């Protein structure tokens, strides 16, 4: 099998429209039924929703947890969350799979947990957006929003400080079975991290 990969010169949200177009084309061509998208404000998920209008592809939007920026508050507006749900997009708000409570221990006591080391390695080797794509897929699997198994493939989208700059086809897994996860194809990513 021969497939092409799109490489962006730099990471960031300026790549979002091209990533959305690549994902929309890929799921239509391959018959992939689930897309997991990282979205802080909701705008990337809304763009994806427009691009996939008229399909039966299920969009799972994963956003930052309550308290990420301000105690007791979610970074995404309630209006945007309601619009995502109105469009049939599954919205997940939970702790990062690759930090969570471990970040609290590292911040308070120093050092790094294994999950934080994994996150740092993914960011260093492949970039922030790639780490995010892996992480949101774990989070979507743990909430039951996507199917999991050897014969399951989903498209995962991540970004670097907003928007999207990475998309890949993955075999999803739950966090407690992380080593079953497979990155089967990279659709697009930045060359520079």
Report pLDDT digits (tens) over 117-127.
Answer: 888 889 999 99
Token output for 110 = 């120093």
User: What are the structural domain ranges in the chain?
Assistant: 6-190
pTM score, whole prediction:
0.92
Q: Which CATH architecture best describes the domain 6-190? A: 3-Layer(aba) Sandwich (3.40)
pLDDT bracket for residue 69 (50, 70, 90): confident
Q: What is the pLDDT of residue 169?
A: 99
Q: Kindly list the distances between the CA atom of residue 59 and the CA atoms of 64, 103, 177, 191, in Å, as whole numbers in the listed order.
A: 16, 28, 23, 27
How does pLDDT run across 4-40, given as a tens digit for each residue? 999 999 999 999 999 999 999 999 999 999 999 999 9
The predicted model gives 65-71 an average pLDDT of 73
pLDDT at 47 over 70: yes
- As a whole number, the mean pLDDT across the chain is 93
Task: Count the Cβ atoms, other than its own, within 10 Å of residue 79.
Answer: 9
At 72, give phi and psi (nearest 5°): 80, 0
Q: What is the pLDDT of residue 97?
A: 77
Q: Kindly list the distances between the CA atom of residue 127 and the CA atoms of 10, 34, 105, 156, 188, in Å, as whole numbers in the listed order.
A: 10, 23, 24, 14, 12
């Amino acid at each position: 099998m021969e497939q092409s990969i799109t490489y962006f010169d730099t990471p960031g949200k300026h790549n979002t429209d091209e990533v959305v177009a690549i994902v929309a084309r890929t799921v239509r061509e391959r018959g992939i039924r689930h897309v997991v998208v990282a979205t802080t404000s909701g705008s990337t998920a809304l763009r994806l929703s427009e691009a996939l209008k008229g399909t039966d592809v299920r969009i799972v939007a994963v956003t930052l947890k309550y308290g990420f920026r301000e105690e007791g508050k979610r970074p995404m507006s309630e209006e945007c969350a309601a619009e995502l749900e109105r469009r049939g997009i599954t919205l997940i708000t939970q702790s990062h799979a690759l930090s969570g409570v471990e970040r609290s221990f590292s911040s308070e006591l120093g050092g790094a947990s294994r999950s934080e080391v994994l996150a740092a390695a993914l960011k260093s080797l492949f970039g922030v957006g790639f780490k995010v794509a892996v992480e949101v897929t774990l989070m979507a699997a743990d909430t039951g929003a996507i199917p999991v198994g050897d014969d399951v493939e989903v498209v995962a989208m991540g970004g670097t400080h907003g928007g999207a700059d990475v998309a890949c086809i993955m075999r999803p897994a739950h966090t407690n079975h992380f080593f079953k996860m497979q990155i089967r194809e990279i659709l697009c990513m930045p060359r520079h991290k």
